[in-house]
Amino acid sequence: DIQMTQSPSTLSASVGDRVTITCRASQSISSWLAWYQQKPGKAPKLLIYYASSLESGVPSRFSGSGSGTEFTLTISSLQPDDFAIYYCQQYNTYPGTFGQGTKVEIK
Amino acid sequence: QVQLVQSGAEVKKPGASVKVSCKASGYTFTGNYMHWVRQAPGQGLEWMGWINPNNGGTNYVQKFQGRVTMTRDTSISTAYMELSRLRSDDTAVYYCARDLSTSTSCYDYWGQGTLVTVSS
């Protein structure tokens, strides 16, 4: 299975900060990468697919980039609603595998 | 609007089976694969498999082969996931999740989750 590794595991930031989360794949996955946001007690929500395509309805402060084995999720100006756990997921190869998650918490 | 509504929480004894339902609305049920993903308490996300609602075809992750069965009833736009021979480490929230298309394994809509607790 392809291993997905996110960094950092926890990120402390303030409202208005620019935040970047990195996701690395154990082998090339082209651009078949998604990012999800999960809040406590809720289902994950799709933010980005195909590495950089913004899901409909997702604020434009979220952006994704990368290809091959290294990817980033950027939040340009962190808002109170953005404090959550973020997961990357590769869907290049079965089984689709997730990163371990990055918790974005209030500084 | 697309909605996936799952059945309620379950408490099961080790060795028993559980069947979780996922009722879809707001789109053509047979047009997108349906996946099942689980999340143990405080842990990450684990894909279990998918079902093609159009023809009932399935694909399960090796780990669950022989214990999981995914089915659907197109007349009521509902997908089901049954897990048998439950163990304590099957305690988790189980989600159904709609595929972005057919078998991409990227999920654009999720159910609210069903907590399955396995305890003697």
Instruction: Provide mean pLDDT across the span A44-73.
Output: 97
User: What are the pLDDT digits (tens) for B29-39?
Assistant: 999 999 999 99
Residues of chain B with C-beta less than 8 angstroms from the C-beta of A36: 45, 107
Residues of chain B with C-beta less than 8 angstroms from the C-beta of A102: none
Q: DSSP states of chain A as a string?
A: ---EEEE-SEEEE-TT--EEEEEEESS--TT-EEEEEE-TTS--EEEEETTTEEPTT--TTEEEEEETTEEEEEESS--GGG-SEEEEEE-SSSSPEE---EEEEE-
- Asked if the Cβ–Cβ distance from A46 to B59 is below 8 Å, we say no
CA distances from A6 to B41, B43, B60, B110 (A): 20, 14, 25, 22
Q: Does B107 touch chain A (CB under 8 A)?
A: yes
Nearest CA in chain A to B98: A46
Determine contact, residues B113/B8, Cβ cutoff 8 Å. no
Query: Please, which residues bridge with residue B47 across strands?
Result: B37
User: What are the pLDDT digits (tens) for A6-17?
Assistant: 999 999 999 999
Nearest CA in chain A to B44: A100
Q: How many other C-beta atoms can be found within 10 angstroms of the C-beta atom of residue B19? A: 13
- Asked if the Cβ–Cβ distance from B108 to A100 is below 8 Å, we say no
- Asked if the Cβ–Cβ distance from B106 to A49 is below 8 Å, we say yes
Q: Is the pLDDT of residue A47 over 90?
A: yes
- Considering only residues 58 to 77 of chain B, which have any Cβ-Cβ distance to chain A shorter than 8 Å? 59, 61
Determine contact, residues A78/B21, Cβ cutoff 8 Å. no
Q: What is the per-residue pLDDT for A94?
A: 83
- Asked if the Cβ–Cβ distance from B47 to A96 is below 8 Å, we say yes
- Asked if the Cβ–Cβ distance from B110 to A44 is below 8 Å, we say yes
Q: How far apart are the C-alpha atoms of B96 and B94, rounded to whole Å?
A: 7
User: What are the pLDDT digits (tens) for B56-106?
Assistant: 999 999 999 899 999 999 999 999 999 999 999 999 999 999 998 877 889
CA gyration radius for chain A? Answer: 13
Q: Does B27 touch chain A (CB under 8 A)?
A: no
- Asked if the Cβ–Cβ distance from A91 to B44 is below 8 Å, we say no
